[in-house]
């Protein structure tokens, strides 16, 4: 059983809908859900003004329609499931600590900020600042998984502290900037300056990467841990080449302007 | 609300008005047209204050609430704002909070603590315009600032040449031109060291400041003397050299001795009361400092207490910020042309940390050992020691030794075991709190109509519910009346108010401008004619009278 919400009125300006999360709707009646408040620009509106609600409040939430102007879907969720059939707006899963979000289309900027657990899966592309710290904060996501099957833009996983971010397509510039720890895997290449200012953590690329001069070559290796990660990603629908599994990786240490304890692993083409 | 501005009768409250010798007496306070009066008509609106505590509005003598340095801090800490939204109401505007709230939120949050007047303690003349504009958007409270002159190169040049009279005239010109309420010295001489010797700082107050043939101590003494002789309402407001260094007790004592014979205000003295050896662990030096202050009538001081939690180092003491900066934290240093420097750095005081615990304890010790509340005033040097939003908790620490003991259990034990604090069991009375937060700052600033509730005083009044838990009590006044208007009623804002701008205007010989102009045209980035803050910036303002101008100062309690 799930609760279904279909976006029937397209919002002119973005909606901030922190209420679209299982924890907020669980146990509510259909009209209770329709009466939940959200912000449409600077005005308070009701869920029922924009969504057609079917069913009462369940732990599983299905959202239909083009929600690219609906922000904060699944914000603060601790359990349950949100499936978006279409695209999702900014701040998807902000501050979530458990549960699962799956978006069949694209997601916008700021996927999973301040996340500490749970899983976000986007089948399409995502915007800038995926899994990143909010501006001014020293530490980004503290755990959980963000899986993007398409491409992402700049500053993927900035200042992340823990967890896994995987991108099936390409990533923009500054992947893992100021990263504290955790793992970022990008399959189809990334822009310039990956790992700038990283303290610890692992960034994996299967394509050649242009590195900063503050990264230095240390050795090559065949990391065992990566095979587990890749098996896991393969089960989640990523295309994992055999060459990734058994391949040799060149390990670069950095960023030496920080503690030089981070690493970037680049698949050796040979 | 028309009925708001006319007449009020605050009935039956316990009044604490130490400037008029009233200590908890039950009486009515009458208000008409923004003033406290002896008589009101039958039509006056009655506010029932039975069982409540009535005090004048509080006056913050030392804080940092406006100008470029505060904006730097706001820009540095977006995370602080995002987590503390200050929503608007029907009558008030919205903003954001955090350690350095936005302008609107600053005014409202001061008001919700019962503060109705505040003075920004460090404004370089170049920033005066900006500060006054921000003040205009800082609601409810009356406000003013002290102008930074302690590292002004032109003034140092005059001292080097021994031109004492011109020096005095120039100070008066600068105070008038910037529309300041007082003169602030910050780590006198240090900017030359910092700018000229690659981030160096003054370590010895008797070392010459290159190229001025002048020691920091001589410079400080010259300012103290000039400000006193100019009869400015507030004496020279001094941030001594060597702030925050172990062993700075001696520097602070030297500075106070240099003030002998003249009035001087030593700012945030907690940061200057550290014994021990330079570079080694801080030890408490509170006894030596407070003994000197207790026995020397010419010195006034505010404590600059530390409270655990988020703060922001925000100072014109640029070399200090340079020294304190850590890898991994955000910090800004700035140079303000020929007149000052600046440093801003977000900072967190931790109760597990030895030094931070020491600082917290020294602030309390200074208060508990103080003999004259009229000269030892309340401040946290907001936001340096703590945000002003921690005042209620600090007041409770002063008033409640049980609470103090409770808190002492959870701080760094190594530090607390070397402190005097565990042996001190003094508790401040409500009357003493009224002195250190209201009457004394108003008197030290020459504000004859503030800090008391006698006839003719500004009707800035706070009414608190009498609660055993003084933190709860001071955190939420039941009523706040500002300039005769009811602003907060039953803990809710019912009206808005734009406070007044307070400044002073010492007399000076206009010929001094001809001396300053050439220096200015040579070395400054703006034209001399654009430097002075013109009258169009003064909307609702009040000139604080000079000490010799016949503006009779109120006598204290007998």
> Nearest-CA neighbor of A205 among A255, A235, A168?
A168
A53, β-bridge pairs = A5
Residue B109 CA, distance from chain mean position: 16
Distance to chain A for B341, nearest Cα, Å: 24
The answer to whether residues A96 and A73 touch, using CB atoms and an 8 Å cutoff, is no
Residue B198: Cβ-neighbour burial (10 angstroms; 0-12, 13-18, 19+): exposed
Distance to chain B for A177, nearest Cα, Å: 14
Which residue of B lies nearest to A133 if distances are taken between CA atoms? Answer: B79
Residues in chain A with CB shorter than 8 Å from the CB of B82 are 134, 136
pLDDT in tens, A56-100: 888 899 999 999 999 999 999 999 999 999 999 999 999 999 999
The Cα B534–Cα B525 span in angstroms is: 18
Q: Above 90 in pLDDT, residue B6?
A: no
The Cα A127–Cα A145 span in angstroms is: 17
Q: Above 50 in pLDDT, residue B556?
A: no
Surface of B (299-358) touching A: CB under 8 A? 328
Is residue B76 less than 8 Å (CB to CB) from chain A?
Answer: yes
Minimum-distance CB partner of A134 among B76, B79, B328: B79
The Cα B130–Cα B137 span in angstroms is: 11
Q: B78-115 burial, b for 16+ CB within 10 Å, e for fewer?
A: ebbbeeeebeeeeebbebbbbbbbbbbbbbbbbbbbbb
Q: What integer best gives the mean pLDDT of chain B?
A: 93
pLDDT at residue B324, rounded to an integer: 86
Residues in chain A with CB shorter than 8 Å from the CB of B328 are 138
Measured in degrees and rounded to the nearest 5, phi and psi for residue B458 equal -60, 140
Please give the average per-residue pLDDT across B427-434, as a whole number.
Answer: 96
pLDDT in tens, B284-311: 999 999 999 999 999 999 999 999 999 9
pLDDT in tens, A208-258: 999 999 999 999 999 999 999 999 999 999 999 999 998 999 999 989 998
Distance to chain B for A134, nearest Cα, Å: 7
Is residue A44 less than 8 Å (CB to CB) from chain B?
Answer: no
- Confidence category of residue A269, pLDDT binned at 50, 70, 90: confident
CB contact under 8 A, B80 and A136: yes
pLDDT at residue B372, rounded to an integer: 95
Q: Above 60 in pLDDT, residue B552?
A: no
- Confidence category of residue B4, pLDDT binned at 50, 70, 90: very low
pLDDT at residue B455, rounded to an integer: 94
Is residue A257 less than 8 Å (CB to CB) from chain B?
Answer: no
Mutation to test the B interface, candidates A136, A158, A197, most B Cβ within 10 Å = A136
The Cα B489–Cα A26 span in angstroms is: 39
Mutation to test the A interface, candidates B73, B78, B98, most A Cβ within 10 Å = B78
Surface of A (119-138) touching B: CB under 8 A? 134-138
Please give the average per-residue pLDDT across B90-119, as a whole number.
Answer: 96
The Cα A263–Cα A87 span in angstroms is: 34
Q: Above 60 in pLDDT, residue B95?
A: yes
The Cα B144–Cα B234 span in angstroms is: 12
Which residue of B lies nearest to A198 if distances are taken between CA atoms? Answer: B328
Which residue of B lies nearest to A197 if distances are taken between CA atoms? Answer: B328
CB contact under 8 A, B78 and A136: yes
Residues in chain B with CB shorter than 8 Å from the CB of A137 are 79
What is the bridge-based pairing of β-strands B22-32 and B35-37? antiparallel
CB contact under 8 A, B77 and A136: yes
Q: Above 60 in pLDDT, residue B326?
A: yes
pLDDT at residue B197, rounded to an integer: 82
CB contact under 8 A, A136 and B328: no
Distance to chain B for A137, nearest Cα, Å: 6
Please give the average per-residue pLDDT across B222-249, as a whole number.
Answer: 95
Chain A to chain B Cβ contacts (< 8 Å): 13
Please give the average per-residue pLDDT across B492-516, as a whole number.
Answer: 94
The answer to whether residues A15 and A69 touch, using CB atoms and an 8 Å cutoff, is yes
The Cα A220–Cα A211 span in angstroms is: 16
Query: What is the model's pTM?
Result: 0.90
Which residues are within 8 A (CB) of B114 and not within 5 positions of it... i.e. 6 or more apart? Answer: B55, B57, B58, B462, B464, B474, B477, B480
Residues in chain B with CB shorter than 8 Å from the CB of A135 are 78-79
Please give the average per-residue pLDDT across A136-155, as a whole number.
Answer: 95
E strand spans, B21-160:
22-32, 35-37, 45-48, 52-56, 58-63, 85-86, 95-96, 115-123, 142-148
Is residue B82 less than 8 Å (CB to CB) from chain A?
Answer: yes
Residues in chain B with CB shorter than 8 Å from the CB of A138 are 328
pLDDT at residue A136, rounded to an integer: 87
Element (H, E) at A48: helix A47-50
Residues in chain B with CB shorter than 8 Å from the CB of A198 are none
Q: Above 60 in pLDDT, residue B554?
A: no
């Amino acid at each position: 059983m799930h609760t279904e919400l279909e976006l029937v009125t397209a919002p002119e300006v973005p909606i901030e809908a922190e209420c679209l999360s299982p924890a907020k709707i669980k146990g509510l009646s259909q009209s209770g859900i329709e009466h939940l408040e959200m912000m449409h620009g600077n005005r308070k509106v009701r869920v029922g003004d924009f969504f057609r609600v079917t069913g009462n409040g369940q732990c599983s939430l299905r959202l239909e329609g083009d929600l690219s102007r609906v922000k904060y879907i699944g914000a603060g969720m601790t359990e349950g499931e949100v499936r978006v059939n279409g695209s999702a707006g900014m701040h998807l899963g902000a501050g979530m600590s458990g549960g699962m979000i799956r978006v069949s289309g694209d997601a916008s900027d700021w996927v999973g900020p301040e996340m500490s657990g749970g899983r976000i899966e986007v089948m399409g592309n995502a915007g800038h600042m995926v899994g990143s710290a909010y501006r001014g904060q020293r530490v980004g996501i503290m755990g959980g998984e963000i899986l993007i099957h398409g491409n992402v833009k700049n500053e993927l996983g900035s200042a992340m502290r823990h967890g896994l971010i995987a991108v099936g397509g390409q990533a923009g510039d500054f992947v893992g900037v100021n990263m504290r720890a955790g793992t970022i895997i990008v399959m189809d290449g990334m822009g310039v300056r990956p790992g700038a200012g990283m303290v610890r953590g692992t960034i994996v690329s299967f394509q050649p990467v242009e590195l900063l001069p503050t990264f230095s070559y240390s050795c090559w290796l065949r990391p065992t841990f990566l095979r587990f990660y890749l098996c896991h990603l393969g089960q989640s629908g990523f295309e994992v080449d055999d060459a990734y599994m058994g391949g040799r990786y060149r390990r670069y240490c950095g960023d030496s302007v920080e503690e030089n304890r981070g690493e970037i692993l680049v698949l050796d083409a040979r | 609300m028309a009925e708001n501005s006319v007449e009020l009768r605050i009935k039956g409250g316990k009044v604490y008005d130490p400037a008029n010798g009233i200590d908890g007496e039950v009486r009515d306070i009458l208000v008409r047209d923004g003033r406290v009066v002896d008589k009101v008509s039958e039509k006056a609106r009655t506010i029932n204050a039975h069982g409540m505590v009535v005090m004048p509005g509080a006056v913050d003598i030392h804080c940092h609430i406006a100008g470029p340095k505060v904006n730097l801090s706001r820009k540095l800490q977006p995370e602080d704002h995002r987590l503390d939204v200050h929503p608007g109401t029907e009558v008030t505007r919205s903003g954001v909070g955090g350690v350095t709230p936005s302008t609107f939120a600053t005014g409202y949050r001061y008001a919700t603590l019962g503060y109705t007047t505040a003075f920004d303690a460090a404004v370089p003349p170049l920033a005066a315009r900006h500060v006054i504009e921000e003040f205009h958007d800082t609601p409810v409270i009356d406000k003013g600032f002290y102008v930074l002159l302690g590292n002004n190169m032109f003034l140092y040049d005059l001292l080097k040449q021994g031109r004492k009279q011109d020096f005095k005239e120039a100070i008066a010109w600068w105070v008038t031109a910037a529309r300041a309420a007082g003169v602030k010295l910050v780590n006198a001489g240090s900017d030359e060291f910092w700018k000229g010797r690659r981030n160096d700082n003054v370590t010895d107050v008797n070392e010459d400041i290159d190229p001025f043939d002048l020691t920091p101590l001589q410079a400080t003494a010259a300012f103290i003397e000039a400000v006193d002789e100019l009869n400015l309402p507030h004496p020279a407001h001094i941030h001594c050299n060597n702030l925050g260094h172990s062993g700075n007790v001696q520097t602070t004592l030297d500075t106070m001795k240099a003030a002998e014979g003249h009035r001087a205000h030593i700012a945030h003295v907690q940061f200057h009361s550290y014994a021990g050896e330079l570079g080694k662990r801080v030890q408490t030096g509170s006894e030596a400092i407070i003994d000197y202050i207790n026995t020397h009538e010419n010195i006034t001081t505010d404590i600059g207490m530390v409270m655990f939690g988020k703060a922001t180092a925000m100072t014109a003491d640029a070399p200090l910020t340079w020294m304190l900066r850590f890898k991994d934290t955000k910090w800004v240093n700035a140079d303000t042309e020929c007149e000052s420097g600046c440093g801003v750095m977000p900072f967190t005081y931790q109760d597990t940390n030895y030094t931070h615990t020491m600082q917290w304890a020294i602030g309390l010790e200074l208060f508990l050992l103080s003999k004259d509340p009229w000269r030892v005033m309340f401040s946290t040097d907001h936001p340096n020691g703590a945000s002003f939003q921690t005042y209620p908790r600090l007041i409770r620490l002063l008033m409640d030794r049980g609470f103090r003991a409770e808190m002492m259990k959870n701080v760094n034990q190594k530090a607390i075991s070397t402190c005097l604090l565990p042996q001190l069991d003094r508790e401040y009375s409500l009357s003493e709190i009224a002195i250190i937060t209201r009457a004394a700052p108003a008197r030290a600033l020459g504000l004859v109509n503030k800090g008391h509730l006698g006839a003719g005083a500004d009707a800035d009044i706070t009414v608190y519910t009498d609660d055993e838990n003084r933190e709860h009590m001071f955190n939420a006044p039941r009523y706040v009346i500002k300039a005769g208007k009811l602003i907060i009623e039953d803990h809710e804002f019912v009206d808005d108010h734009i406070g007044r701008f307070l400044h002073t205007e010492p007399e000076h010989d206009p010929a001094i401008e001809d001396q300053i102009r050439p220096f200015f045209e040579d070395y400054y980035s703006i034209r001399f004619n654009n430097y002075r803050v013109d009258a169009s910036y003064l909307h609702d303002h009040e000139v604080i009278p000079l000490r010799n101008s016949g503006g009779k100062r109120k006598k204290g309690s007998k």
